[in-house]
Homo-oligomer: A and B are copies of this chain.
Amino acid sequence: MESEAVRKARAARQASYALANADTTVKNNALTYIADDLLAQASSIMEANAADVAAAREKGMSDAMIDRLTLTPDRIRGMAEGVRQVIALPDPVGQTLASWDRPNGLHIDKVTVPLGVIAIIFESRPNVTVDAAVLCLKSGNATVLRGGSEAIHSNVALAGVIRHAIARAGLPSDAVTIMENTDRALVGELLTLRQYINLAIPRGGAGLIRMVVDTAKVPVIETGSGVCHVYVDKDADLDMAVSIIENAKVSRPSTCNAMETLLVHKDVVQPLMEKLVPVLKARHVEMRADTAAREAGGTGIEMASEEDWRTEYNALIMSIRTVSSLDEALDHIRRYSTHHSETIVTENTDTAERFLQEVDSAAVYVNASTRFTDGFEFGFGAEIGISTQKLHARGPMGLEALVSYKYLIHGKGQIRQ
């Protein structure tokens, strides 16, 4: 008896052929029906969601977690609106990236194609069911969804609405499949099916990402781990620095683009801490610092350990380290960064350019918050995740990250010498 993983992955692979060749209009029709049906079916979606919420309460899940799980009419409207925005985006499939002629008369076109079948492994928020499936669909990819067990009824209900809408548009409903059994062993199996799955994208916390990256035999795009830095240089505008630091830590501390570590040049640690500490205390940020920053910062600051430099807190906690030069800051970042986002605050353009040149992260900023690392903030109109790896896609991933290419060659009988 075949496992659900094999059945669903194979079904998605079968559906992917029609999807790869579907007109933009047909795909957009499917998206329109999805948006319409999310609203039309809101009651039954929320009914399924209520079952998940009740089970979560019974298990004693925290209020914050239950809130992430809950679907309200507003949130469903938000999902539908998100789908309509994707309809408006250009189709990334069938684009000619390059076109040239060879001396022997061959004409070559490099054109974009879908990746094929993408497995989305996620937890918590049921939104991902819709957001991810819709981006995959627009880019001509079939999807195998596997969400967290806590949201199983919600996710299955949402996937059902999506599948029905896809069929209405004349596309195979298996263009979106969902694992109904969320057993860990099945995910492991799913991630080995190289013959059916072209890519796996994990969306969730560090534990989930680690599990997917370590288990997968299929290609994975490593997402989301963000030990992000702000470096305040000796030539920084300190008021700007305070504003950036506050925003980068406090605006949404649980996101991957939130800063974790502040690096300060020793020449400005005193005046910076004098301005910064009251602001962070007012925002309830716990600080852990080295000796120089602690002395400059006054009371209430813990001593930082090496463990703090490598920790992604995802909370209102910040580690602070004093450095004696740009070189030291670069060395610290090289050692502890997860290559997500780093900012330098400085008015010195040479220093800024050296930072931009030498820091190897997906997004490197001068004088702006790390919180801008986001597909919508970058202007992509979509985001399936933020890649921290260097192959295939890096940083915020829009529709372009979900396609590959092939070479089409037109000849008149040429043979190779």
Q: Which of A46-54, A56-64, A121-129, A371-379 contacts B (4 or more CB under 8 A)?
A: A371-379
A248 to B409, CA, bound (A): 15
**Which one of B116, B357, B377, B416 contacts A247 once the chains associate, using CB atoms below 8 Å?**
B416
Could you tell me if A358 and B21 are in contact, using CB atoms closer than 8 angstroms? yes
Query: Contacts A20-B360, A378-B108; is A409 near B113 (CB within 8 Å)?
Result: no
Could you tell me if B366 and A244 are in contact, using CB atoms closer than 8 angstroms? no
A405 to B407, CA, bound (A): 22
Could you tell me if B198 and A411 are in contact, using CB atoms closer than 8 angstroms? no
A416 partner residues in chain B, CB cutoff 8 A:
247, 251, 369, 371-372, 377
Shortest Cβ gap from A290 to chain B (Å):
24
Could you tell me if B411 and A106 are in contact, using CB atoms closer than 8 angstroms? no
Could you tell me if A391 and B392 are in contact, using CB atoms closer than 8 angstroms? yes
Could you tell me if B406 and A368 are in contact, using CB atoms closer than 8 angstroms? no
Asked if A187 lies at the interface with its beta carbon under 8 angstroms from chain B, I say no
Shortest Cβ gap from A74 to chain B (Å):
19
Could you tell me if B115 and A390 are in contact, using CB atoms closer than 8 angstroms? yes
Could you tell me if A415 and B378 are in contact, using CB atoms closer than 8 angstroms? no
Residues of chain A from 113 to 168 with CB closer than 8 A to chain B in the complex: 113, 115-116
Query: Contacts A20-B360, A116-B360; is A409 near B219 (CB within 8 Å)?
Result: no
Shortest Cβ gap from A36 to chain B (Å):
30
Query: Contacts A116-B390, A378-B407, A391-B115; is A367 near B415 (CB within 8 Å)?
Result: no
Residues of chain A from 165 to 204 with CB closer than 8 A to chain B in the complex: 198-199
Could you tell me if A198 and B415 are in contact, using CB atoms closer than 8 angstroms? no
Asked if A404 lies at the interface with its beta carbon under 8 angstroms from chain B, I say yes
Shortest Cβ gap from A355 to chain B (Å):
10
Could you tell me if A364 and B409 are in contact, using CB atoms closer than 8 angstroms? yes
Shortest Cβ gap from A91 to chain B (Å):
14
Asked if A413 lies at the interface with its beta carbon under 8 angstroms from chain B, I say yes
10 pairs of A and B residues whose beta carbons are closest in the complex: A368-B411, A247-B415, A390-B404, A371-B416, A392-B392, A240-B413, A391-B392, A367-B411, A368-B414, A365-B409
Instruction: Report 8 cross-chain contacts, Cβ distance below 8 Å, ordered by A residue.
Output: A102-B379, A106-B368, A108-B379, A115-B390, A248-B415, A356-B408, A360-B406, A368-B411
Give 15 new A-B contacts, CB below 8 A, not counting A106-B372, A247-B416, A377-B416: A21-B357, A21-B358, A116-B390, A219-B219, A243-B413, A363-B409, A365-B410, A365-B411, A366-B410, A367-B412, A367-B413, A367-B414, A368-B413, A369-B414, A390-B404
Residues of A within 8 A of B (CB): 17, 20-21, 100, 102, 106, 108, 113, 115-116, 198-199, 214, 217, 219, 237, 240, 243-244, 246-248, 251, 334, 356-358, 360-369, 371-373, 377-379, 389-392, 394-395, 404-416
